[in-house]
Structure 1
Amino acid sequence: MLSELSIRNFAIIESLDIEFERGLTVLTGETGAGKSIIIDAVQLLAGGRGSQQFIRHGAERAEIEGLFYVDVTNEALLAELAANDIPVGEDRMLIIRRTLSRKGKTTCRVNGKLTTIAAVRTIASHLVDIHGQHENQELMNDKHHIHLLDHFAPPTFEEAHRHYTELYEEYVELRKKLRQTVEDEQTIAQHIDLYTFQLNEIDEANLVVGEDGALEKEQQKLQHFHRLFERLTTAYESLNGESKGLDYIGSAMSDLEDAATIDDDMKPISETVSASFYSLQDVIHSLSSTIDDMAFDPMRVEEVESRLALLATLKRKYGQTVEAILTYREEIEEKLDRLLHRDERLAEEQERLAQVEADLAIEANELSLIRQETAKRLEKAVMEQLEQLYMEKATFRVSIETKEPLAFDANGSDDVQFLISTNVGEPLKPLTQIASGGEISRMMLALKTIFSKTQGVTSLIFDEVDTGVSGRVAQAIADKIATIAVHSQVLCISHLPQVAAMADYHYFISKRVEEDRTVTRVRAIEHASRVEELSRMLSGAEITPLSLRAAEELLELAEERKQTFAEEAEQSN
């Protein structure tokens, strides 16, 4: 649910903060006051396309922030948040913030974490659904019809679709391998030559894991051989011999041993010096052996440098480490084997692909059967909604056609399209080809009423979906929006008094000039102000006693109807 919306320097809005509640919130006002700008801001917050033109004149950036409350039962939303490592606390709050800069930079944050626009768009799709009169929304896009139908399907569909998806992923991978196997002969020959050369080059090197580190250490010693020999010899001569380091320490050891026979407190010191004396004897012996074994070998220097140069060349070509080179070798060995035995593998893969395709056809057919049953239920549900919207002569059908020739995609082998005929005797046509604005509004509202219960979206926004209707149809649309608002949060921009009267919360949008700048203002209106606003919407600019009485009556009737809808919803639950 959208709880708060904060807008700064967006279009003609300098600063705006609005709080929203559950139920139906209606925004009304004169044309051009900025009602749709508020919806544009929400759409941008939900991952819509941004533009510098949205930034208010004279400002460096536009900022939009929305506070949502997460429905803990919305598993798809929680999974998406987890996938993007976005935490949600016990308060269930989710804050989405988006900034547009004059320099063209746009940033998105969700609960303070910097997030991509694509991720925000996916997350927001589980939170809010925006529909406007002229937008290419989900319902007006044939490609989305199959997803909407599947949302209406029974629980058995999910399990069937999971089985299909597992097979389909294997099918895609097999087709990919098959394409690689049947590449043109010239390319195959080139790859065979290349992989053979690379394998030979790596094998001839006789690589040993860890040898590069050992060689680098040896190279360090060889490059500084004379300096190392000189330092070790000097250290040895300083310690060993008459009147040298060890000789003096031996004298000190004897004196301290004698002192310890007189004073027991000297024993620890005596023992420490004795231990040092014997340790230094070991050191002198080790130094002597090391010096005796040292011999400068120019040939070994050349061998080490040559080996390191070879390793550097292989690392540059095949991997940053010896381990990476050997891993690459395994990969190309497998590829070479596939190419050399491609005829055998081709036959195996074609056989496996044929088997998977047969199994996939069975699973796709299972999906199709469930969809056909689902389509009947959806058709019935939509027809009931259309009848309530005074389109009782309309006919709605779900067309399910198997792809010809048989082909598979992530959804199976079906092409799904919503068809409608709005007049008796007229043929069924794709939903996307409906011409009348009023018919579009009612058709969209009928489908939204049904799908709002299955899509898991907690906030629905209607931007002037009532355009092109009046009279009893206007009241029917108002009733339908109010019905949706019983179980969802609905934000609606409307010019119809019937819709505005149904509002649980009513905001009036106005604009005025302040200091030679146009600014938009929003204020919540209660009963008296609502009566005046409804009166204006009923009669136009001039408010008359008659229009005021009509507005009061409209509000009274609306309250009665809303009470009825609430009772019906409670009974259905």
Structure 2
Amino acid sequence: MLNQLTVQHFAIVQFLELEFSNGMTAITGETGAGKSIAIDALGLCLGSRAEANMVRVGTDKAEISARFTLTDTPHAKQWLLNNDLESEDDNNECLLRRTVNKEGRSRAYINGTPVPLSQLKSLGQLLVNIHGQHAHQSLLKNDIQLSIIDEYAGHHQLLQKVKDTYQGWHFLNKQLKQQQFSQQEKQARKQLLEYQIQELDEFALGEDEFEHIETEHKRLANSGALLENCQITLNKLSEGDEIDALSLLRSSVSALESQVENDKSLENIITTLQDSLIQIEDACYELRHVSENLELDPEQFEELETRMSDALSLARKHQVQPEFLYDHHQKLSKEFKQLNNSELQIEQLRADLEVAEVAYYQHANKLSQSRCRHAKDLSKKITASIQKLNMQDGVFDIEIAENINHALSPLGLDNVEFKVKTNAGQTLQNIAKVASGGELSRIGLAMQVIISQRVATPTLIFDEVDVGISGATASVVGKLLRSLGENTQIFCVTHLPQVAGNGHQQMFVTKQSNGKHTNTNMIKLSETGPPQRISSLVRGDNITEHTLANARELLVSA
């Protein structure tokens, strides 16, 4: 229940502090006085959109705070507990606060803790339900009609399941379409790859093979000069006809060894020369091995030359360096494999999509059945209610049919149509075709009252929902709202004395201006105040004893 509302520098309000009670509170005042400003301020505190023009001219920011008692609101208490936002001082109270600066930026607080706007909205929906003055016009919209049935039936969990399964189906369907859209292009790419890979497979170039081919080709191409120079070097080192390096070293070592007894310092020189002998002998061995293996094989050379030429040709064709041809081959093979996998992915997506569609239809059909069942019950109640609202021959009916295009939707598979018969002898027709403004207002009010009785929101606000209603019908509306206020906190902004007179308490809105500044104020009327104010609703400024008597009669009747 809303206990207190404090408004500062909001629109034409300088400062307003209001205390509220249980029951029905009627809010009255002259047209343009600002009766809906307090409702707008509360809406802002509950998470509605903030704008810069909400800040009073000449001030830096607007601030609104609302204090609620949570004794009869277990859902809100649990929400606060789940989000670690419960009040430290009193678990049965909750304080919401919203500030808006003159640039239009706002901040939100729950029990003194800064919170994102989404959290403020989420909690606000559990505390207050606001019915605007043009709500009945929205009855003509199909999605609003559907939401009315769902709200009456309490389909929140079932709707969430339908929405979740729809989103899963929609995601898979989108992926499948994307895959199918690119499949034609992939198929063309796959055919090209298949040809290229077959060509590379047939050539079968091994890893690092081109470098080996290049090395061998170079060696064989220069084998004659290599062999000649190897032989010349061997002759100079060890195989000379008259003299060679090894013979000279051996004779030198022998000559020095004969003199080592005469000079011990020769030992190091002899050791160095012996090491050189060993190294030259090793080099000669390697040269003989190279010479023996440098066979002039024209066939081998031709094979190498052909393979290298083919490798160079393939490399030019694939626009890569020949040493990277093997890596390119592996890359194309990997891409081809991925394209094959994409076809498997499409098949898997189709299978997953079928499963998701079955799950969606299970929940959507269950939702449809529940809607049809509750639509019959709601139709009967609305019919009974509008007949009390001076539509004695009125009949209201809700028709639910499957969507003709069978398109999946997060709201289910149903099309809804509100039909009404306002006079005897007529047939049921679409509400948009036959209902006048006043009849539409009465039907909308009947719906709001009926649905409000089933929604566990502790505070209901009706902002001029009685537009287009007058006379005896207004009296019935007033009694209807007062009856609703016996168990729920009700706020009703109204111009009708028959409605205002049914309030458990009365609040009056005034507007003052000094030529430079305008200010709106709201006061709670004392026991002697209501007759005077209700009389002004009947006759304006011309208040007589007769109008006062009528006002007292309305209050006594209530």
The 3-state SS of whatever aligns with 1:364 is: helix
Partner of 1:309: none
Q: Classify 1:191/1:411 alpha carbon distance in 2 versus 1 (closer, same or farther; 3 Å).
A: farther
Provide the rounded CA distance (Å) in 1 between the counterparts of 2:419 and 2:147: 16
Alpha-carbon contact 1:142-1:432 (below 8 Å) kept: no
Answer yes or no: is 1:14 the counterpart of 2:14: yes
Answer yes or no: is 1:440 the counterpart of 2:409: no
TM-score, with structure 1 as normaliser: 0.65
Partner of 1:371: 371
1:363-419: CA deviation from partner (whole Å, max 9, x where unpaired): 422321222111111111111111111123222221212123222223321123433
Structure 1 position 48, deviation (Å): 2.3
Please show how residues 454-473 of structure 1 align to structure 2 within 5 Å. Answer: 454-473=454-473
**Partner amino acid for 2:484?**
I
Partner of 1:32: 32
Provide the rounded CA distance (Å) in 2 between the counterparts of 1:373 and 1:32: 44
Provide the rounded CA distance (Å) in 2 between the counterparts of 1:187 and 1:81: 54
* Overall identity of the aligned pairs, in %: 31
Report the more deviating stretch, 79-88 or 99-108: 79-88
Aligned pair count reads 415
Answer yes or no: is 1:87 the counterpart of 2:122: no
The 3-state SS of whatever aligns with 1:519 is: strand
Structure 1 position 506, deviation (Å): 0.8
Provide the rounded CA distance (Å) in 2 between the counterparts of 1:142 and 1:58: 44
Partner of 2:405: 405
Alpha-carbon contact 1:23-1:487 (below 8 Å) kept: yes
1:438-495: CA deviation from partner (whole Å, max 9, x where unpaired): 2233112101111112222221111222222221011011111112212211111111
Partner of 1:142: 142
Structure 1 position 348, deviation (Å): 2.9
Provide the rounded CA distance (Å) in 1 between the counterparts of 2:169 and 2:104: 42
TM-score, with structure 2 as normaliser: 0.67
The 3-state SS of whatever aligns with 1:184 is: helix
Partner of 1:47: 47
Report the more deviating stretch, 177-186 or 479-488: 177-186
Provide the rounded CA distance (Å) in 2 between the counterparts of 1:72 and 1:453: 15
Please show how residues 161-310 of structure 1 align to structure 2 within 5 Å. Answer: 164=162, 167-185=165-183
Alpha-carbon contact 1:445-1:480 (below 8 Å) kept: no
Provide the rounded CA distance (Å) in 2 between the counterparts of 1:92 and 1:375: 37
Partner of 1:242: none
Q: Classify 1:39/1:360 alpha carbon distance in 2 versus 1 (closer, same or farther; 3 Å).
A: closer
Q: Classify 1:40/1:190 alpha carbon distance in 2 versus 1 (closer, same or farther; 3 Å).
A: farther
The 3-state SS of whatever aligns with 1:438 is: helix
Alpha-carbon contact 1:74-1:456 (below 8 Å) kept: no
Q: Classify 1:425/1:337 alpha carbon distance in 2 versus 1 (closer, same or farther; 3 Å).
A: farther
Q: Classify 1:73/1:14 alpha carbon distance in 2 versus 1 (closer, same or farther; 3 Å).
A: closer
Q: Classify 1:112/1:434 alpha carbon distance in 2 versus 1 (closer, same or farther; 3 Å).
A: farther
Provide the rounded CA distance (Å) in 1 between the counterparts of 2:82 and 2:546: 58
Report the more deviating stretch, 336-345 or 370-379: 336-345
Structure 1 position 49, deviation (Å): 2.6
Provide the rounded CA distance (Å) in 1 between the counterparts of 2:336 and 2:126: 47
Alpha-carbon contact 2:45-2:66 (below 8 Å) kept: yes
Alpha-carbon contact 1:494-1:500 (below 8 Å) kept: yes
Answer yes or no: is 1:540 the counterpart of 2:535: no
Partner of 2:114: 114
Which has the greater radius of gyration? 2
Q: Classify 1:81/1:425 alpha carbon distance in 2 versus 1 (closer, same or farther; 3 Å).
A: farther
Listed as ranges, the gaps of 5+ residues in structure 2 are: 191-333
Partner of 1:347: 347
Alpha-carbon contact 1:383-1:392 (below 8 Å) kept: no
